[in-house]
């Protein structure tokens, strides 16, 4: 796995580069790049996607503020992106 600018990590599957969402990425950045993640954030109870804080707060900070399991959230966010890229 390789870390690239913007907090994105990627690895290669069958020769294709696959980007990963990490807990240090801003919520706003993830939603802009991967709109399919909105449903995942909402399902986990993180409904403040449109607030100003979401523009700069990272996933871990948002999850902690709302009592959400950050590891489960990140896993589900990556699964949603993987499904949409299939």
Is residue 8 in some structural domain? no
Is residue 25 within 8 A of residue 7, CB to CB? The reply is yes
pLDDT at 4: 44
More confident residue, 15 or 3: 15
- Tell me how many domains the chain contains: 1
Indicate which CATH number applies to the domain containing 37. 1.10.3910.10
In this prediction, residue 9 has a pLDDT band, given cuts at 50, 70 and 90, of low
Is residue 69 in some structural domain? yes
Give 23-51 pLDDT, tens digit per residue.
Answer: 999 999 899 999 999 999 999 998 877 77
Three-class DSSP category at 17? strand
Is residue 4 in some structural domain? no
- Start-to-end C-alpha separation, the chain: 20
Residue 27: beta bridge partners? none
The structure tokens listed for 32 are 């802009």
CA dist 71 and 69 (Å) reads 6
pLDDT at 20: 86
Domain of 47 in residue numbering reads as 25-84
The structure tokens listed for 59 are 């996933």
């Amino acid at each position: 796995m390789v870390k690239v600018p913007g907090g994105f990590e990627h690895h290669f599957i069958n020769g294709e580069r696959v980007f990963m969402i990490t807990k240090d990425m801003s919520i706003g950045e993830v939603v802009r790049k991967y709109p399919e993640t909105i449903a995942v954030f909402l399902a986990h109870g993180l409904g403040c996607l449109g607030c100003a804080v979401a523009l700069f707060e990272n996933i871990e900070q948002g999850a902690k503020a709302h009592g959400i399991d950050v590891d489960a959230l990140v896993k589900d966010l990556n699964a949603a992106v993987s499904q949409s890229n299939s």
